[in-house]
Amino acid sequence: MIDRFTLKYAARRRMFFARPSPYAVTLLFLAITTVVRFIVERLVLKLSEWTEYLMYLLYGRMTSSDAELYSFFQEAWGKSGLIMSRPVYDRTIWLPIVLSLALALLVRCVAVGYDSYCLKVSRGEEARYGELKVGFRFVTKTFVICVVQGVIVAVLTCFLIVPGVIAAYAYRMTVYNMLDHPDWGPIRCMRESRLMMRGHKAQLFLLDLSFLPWYLLCAVTMGILYIWKLPHFTTTYALFYGELCGRSSWDFQDPRPDNAI
């Protein structure tokens, strides 16, 4: 049984000794991701007509088996002012699509680098700003993992929500496996994560629930509180991974004696 209270305490202790400050690294990480996501949102706006049309086709297909329901859907969709007819094709739409995907992958690579930073902090190892670049060593693996994992979770969620949630929890340790074992392929990282999480999904779910009030407060503060809480969240998850892979949070010595706290 993994004690989440012990993990949270160990995370705060590791963060206290970390240099540079986890808060400074988090601020840099959030600044990068916020700017990139703002650009992606601007690009996606240019695809709004096609997005509405594709959603219309999707929901139309889902409701077409029931004539009454399909008629109601079309009426509601039309009254909302959303597009029901195919937009005029323009080859320039591919530019924002490609740029959006590239920038989304960039954000994910930076996030992998941030996970690497917090993983080192959780182990009392030297962690620098440069850790944010580590994810770019695994661009191909990160892309494959995002696609395969996304497809699996999405397909299972379409049938029933619960299997999709279970699958999402099964693959939560994939990134840490990739960071600890650079020679592993993306599929093996996912498989090992699934094996590690057997019997531990409920514990991770309870750990997520214990952070829920903080997530809500972060949302209320427009994300500003994430500067202080995100490193604690992520370091705690890294310690959870450490417990699963046999590298306990207490296996690493602090760089200073206890009375330094």
The mean pLDDT value for 105-116 works out to 95
Q: How far is C-alpha 77 from the chain's CA centre? A: 32
Q: Which residues contact 16 (CB under 8 A, 6 or more apart)?
A: 261
Q: Which residues of 138-167 are buried (b: 16+ CB within 10 A; e: fewer)?
A: beebbbbbeeebeebbeebeeeeeeebeeb
pLDDT at 102: 92
Q: Both ends of the chain: CA-CA distance in Å?
A: 28
Record the tokens describing residue 211, joined without a space. 């952070």
Sign, Cα dihedral of 189, 146, 110, 141? positive
In whole angstroms, what is the distance from residue 183 CA to residue 137 CA?
Answer: 12
Q: What share of the chain is helix, strand, coil (3-state, %, to 5)?
A: 75, 0, 25
Global pTM value: 0.83
pLDDT tens-digit readout, 186-236? 999 999 999 999 999 999 999 999 999 999 999 999 889 999 999 999 999
Q: Which among 7, 11, 9 has a CA at the least distance from the CA of 124?
A: 11
pLDDT tens-digit readout, 232-254? 999 999 999 999 987 665 555 55
Q: Which residue has the higher pLDDT, 213 or 257?
A: 213
Confidence of residue 158 (pLDDT cuts 50, 70, 90): confident
pLDDT tens-digit readout, 72-97? 888 888 778 777 777 777 777 788 88
pLDDT at 257: 42
pLDDT at 258: 44
Residue 152 has pLDDT above 80, yes or no: yes
pLDDT at 155: 83
Residue 14 has pLDDT above 60, yes or no: yes
Q: How far is C-alpha 25 from the chain's CA centre? A: 18
Task: For the chain, give every domain's residue range.
Answer: 4-39+93-250
pLDDT at 254: 53
pLDDT at 58: 79
